[in-house]
Amino acid sequence: MELLALSDIAKLTGIPAPTARRYAALFKDYLSGRRLGRMTRYPEESLGVFQRIGELYAEGRITAEIEDILRRDYPRTIEVGPASEPIALPAVIQDLPGNLAEVLSDALSDALANSISHFSDALDKLAEQKSSLDTHQNDINKLKNGFVLLARNLKRVAKREQADVTSQVERLSERLRGIEPKLAVIEEISLTLTSDNADLKARVSAQEVELRRLREDRDRMEALLKRSGAL
């Protein structure tokens, strides 16, 4: 089965590459992406999902509505990344007697590898949340601009004959009532994403502290081993 890069998907579907990246970040659970090194590749059947997302946006759907439709029509997938490579410690540990060098090397390598892996995952999630939050913020800005245009139209309508004004105002008021629930949904999603973003930042900060602590422990262990080897 051929795996496609986002640039390939953009060419085959006619979706602009930045838009395809945004779709991939917002709806990754339905695209069956596979992480290969630093790149994510997608199977050929994901082309239909990308095209469906584009069609739904073209129909005027908001992100939350598209999420519901995809959940109904397509299976969800969860990407499981490859295990991190063990981190080798300096060769001076090999001079210790017995298997002490092997035990210490494995323990420190596993600790550092796990910490770096968690740190990398947290950064990836933070980037995805930021992309999703930016998208919702753009939707909110578009709706706000729509309200401004409607207000201007109301001022123009006020200058027309009274009978025509009543009809125009009723139609515009109906459109406003239809837009307000969607705006409330988007604002609620935006608040949720903002909260998740703050939580991820806190987790990243904690991972950084843990990583520094492990590195300090490694440095102290290396110094101790060097002194032991000199004796």
pLDDT for the residue numbered 137? 75
Which CATH number does the domain housing residue 65 bear?
1.10.1660.10
Summarised one tens digit per residue, pLDDT across range 2-53 is 889 999 999 999 999 999 999 999 999 999 888 888 889 999 999 999 999 9
125 and 207 housed in the same domain = yes
Domain boundary among 65, 82, 99: 82
Summarised one tens digit per residue, pLDDT across range 153-211 is 767 766 666 667 678 888 888 888 888 888 788 777 877 777 777 777 888 888 889 88
User: In the predicted model, is pLDDT for residue 87 greater than 50?
Assistant: no
Long-range contacts of 38-43 (CB under 8 A, 24+ apart): 39/5, 40/6, 40/79, 41/3, 41/4, 41/5, 42/3, 42/4, 42/5, 42/6, 42/9, 43/1, 43/2, 43/3, 43/4
Strands, sheet with 39-43, edge to edge from the N-terminal-most edge strand: 3-4, 39-43, 34-36
Domain span at residue 28 reads 1-82
134 and 56 housed in the same domain = no
75 and 1 housed in the same domain = yes
pLDDT for the residue numbered 121? 65
> From CA 213, how far away is CA 109, in angstroms rounded?
14
pLDDT for the residue numbered 127? 65
pLDDT for the residue numbered 11? 93
Summarised one tens digit per residue, pLDDT across range 61-72 is 999 999 999 999
User: In the predicted model, is pLDDT for residue 86 greater than 50?
Assistant: no
Tally of domains in the chain: 2
219 and 131 housed in the same domain = yes
175 and 223 housed in the same domain = yes
Summarised one tens digit per residue, pLDDT across range 104-122 is 656 565 666 555 655 556 6
91 and 5 housed in the same domain = no
pLDDT for the residue numbered 89? 41
68 and 110 housed in the same domain = no
Question: What is the average pLDDT value for the chain, to the nearest integer?
Answer: 77
